[in-house]
Structure 1
């Protein structure tokens, strides 16, 4: 079975499970779980921050970050498609009383610097106080380049605003950019974070852990974040069992993300070739460009209603949603490659699509 629904479906390897089973434990609320402390220090050293904090999920680390940077009635500038704005149940507003100021994304996934600057409110009691700029990298698999990340950090510093990275897939961005800059992925990730006040790093996506995310920042920031984490119910006890998986992932699962990127490109190229070759797909299925481990295809509703059940019957699991394009309703299908998707899975999936097209 090829499960392309998300890189959150990854299963821990036997080696990761052994590290978890043998992890020395303490009580993280008392700050004495040695494995969690080791994970936090390792991540902080890698990414160039003073300190880090382990939490159950990326949704929580993002919310902790925003509530630690902002007070009630403050404003955070976000992207219309950012996870922090669209996919986290409105937590920044509902639980943090933080006003989101959403901006339209450009085709490459960036926010225009001029749009960010124009959205910053003047110091006037009529307005919410702009306090934070949030950036996401990657964005739906798109990589925001180092030069852009530096420009946003410089703008935040100029305007005296805090800036946070939702780096759920930061390591995918780092792997994609590393060769361009002559750096290792680990050093590339550090460069992408340089100048930012905080970053959230997900361990349970491409890095292959069963649970967990990290929030990184200054010592003072993390001290504030601990209070917010407690308030949100994120204080846990013998977290070393989970933290051990995070340590293993940071030591072993970063460089291998390149395999996921290669498999995703192979999938995209294969689907593109099938569209060219097979009349049943031509004009009905569009393959969007691939940069990392996420591929989107736009499929006509009529074709999708037949193709997706056909693939599901053959063990190919996908997520899809409808949207309105200039030419009418389209079903956008997301394919995510991860450590449990092999090159063989990709080839078998392409063969299944080809078999479908030849029958229908």
Structure 2
């Protein structure tokens, strides 16, 4: 029996029995030929729900974002991106390595937005000396923070004024939608393309979807093949994503509530700082000299945390964390910091 509590990330979720059953029943075909009916159903459904013409099912969020960047931009183009954004910092430099697309990073504001005046100051003039600025890439949520809805509208107007396309790394789009109390479409409508990850809070084992115009998705499908992302009977994986859309979106509010309960229970412990709680994420700070002992203590309590050499630790709630898991975690913290 697996009695570990794993708070490292919402990527560690395991398919529920009902999701496994949906995968078992999935009708399948060859998706490289466009003949997998369950993949097609997922793509059509997400495109319709988010307000786009088409969508493409791909193995990972990293590949989904890469395909978007390579479909919006050409060699020698540039995209504007947050300095701590996933597409810039945590995806292996794929846009530059594989797409010859130059990133122009901009520091995030505390709420996860990219200040529009800072973005305007780094747009390149039309001149052979410079890369061509073509795209703005935002991330929602960012460190668990949903981007303000009025900012998204302002970013859309900014891109229109400067002739830029607008892409959303919406790996946790549904967390943002649930937290803001709006349909995901209300967020997606501001963008030219949106990437959604199903293997985080939505609990599917594999897969992301890129949505956009029919022309953009046509380009992305070709780049998916070039990047080795063509797959065959992928309907079993698409079925997990369809099940997640049906059953795991509204319940994200439970993850957010448990994260809030965890943060509240940790506040006031001597020697521990709660740096913030946003949607399903809790950020704490532990003195660096205590990290080795803290890591050993939590592992002895069979609680997995992403503890490295930095004092800031992120904990993420998800569908494999129940109320009892939160209480066990709080008890282990209290024992160490009492």
Q: Which residue of 2 aligns with 1:326?
A: none
Partner of 1:134: helix, strand, or coil? Answer: strand
Asked if 2 retains the 8 angstrom alpha-carbon contact of 1:285 and 1:298, the reply is yes
Answer with 99-108 or 305-314: which moved more: 305-314
Question: Structure 1: any 5+ residue segments left out of the alignment?
Answer: 276-281, 324-330
Give 1:306 deviation, angstroms: 1.3
- The 5 Å alignment of 1:146-295 reads 146-178=149-181, 183=182, 187=183, 189-273=184-268, 275=269, 282=270, 284-295=271-282
Partners of 1:298 and 1:97 in 2: how far apart? 38
Q: CA deviation at 1:142?
A: 1.1
Q: Does 1:39 align with 2:42?
A: yes
Match of 1:316 in 2: 303
Between the aligned partners of 2:120 and 2:215, the Cα distance in structure 1 is 27
Deviant stretches of 4+, over 6 Å: none
User: For 1:244, what is the secondary structure of its paired residue?
Assistant: helix
2:318 aligned residue (335, 338, 345): 338
Aligned to 2:267, what secondary structure does the other structure show? helix
How well do the aligned residues superpose, as a CA RMSD in angstroms? Answer: 0.9
Candidates 109, 130, 133, aligned match of 2:112: 109
Alignment of structure 1 residues 41-60 onto 2, 5 Å: 41-60=44-63
* 1:26 paired to 2:29: yes
Query: What's the CA shift for 1:83?
Result: 0.2
The answer to which of 296-305 and 138-147 deviates more is 296-305
CA distance in 1, matches of 2:323, 2:190: 38
Once the two structures are superposed, residues 252-297 of structure 1 have per-residue CA deviations (whole angstroms, 9 ceiling, x without a partner) of: 1100000000000101000004x1xxxxxx2x32102212001111
- Residue 320 of structure 1 and its aligned partner are, at CA, apart by 2.7
Partner of 2:290: 303
| Aligned-pair CA distance for 1:357 | 2.5
Kindly indicate whether the alpha-carbon contact (under 8 Å) linking 2:6 and 2:305 is maintained by their aligned counterparts in 1.
Answer: yes
The number of equivalent residue pairs is 335
Contact in 1 for aligned 2:204/2:244 (Cα 8 Å): yes
User: Structure 1 residues 89-98 or 297-306, which shifts more?
Assistant: 297-306
Question: TM-score of the superposition, structure 2-length normalised?
Answer: 0.97
Mapped contact 1:7–1:336 kept (Cα < 8 A):
yes
Give the whole-Å Cα distance in 1 for the aligned partners of 2:244 and 2:179: 18
- The answer as to whether partners of 2:104 and 2:122 remain within 8 angstroms in 1 is yes
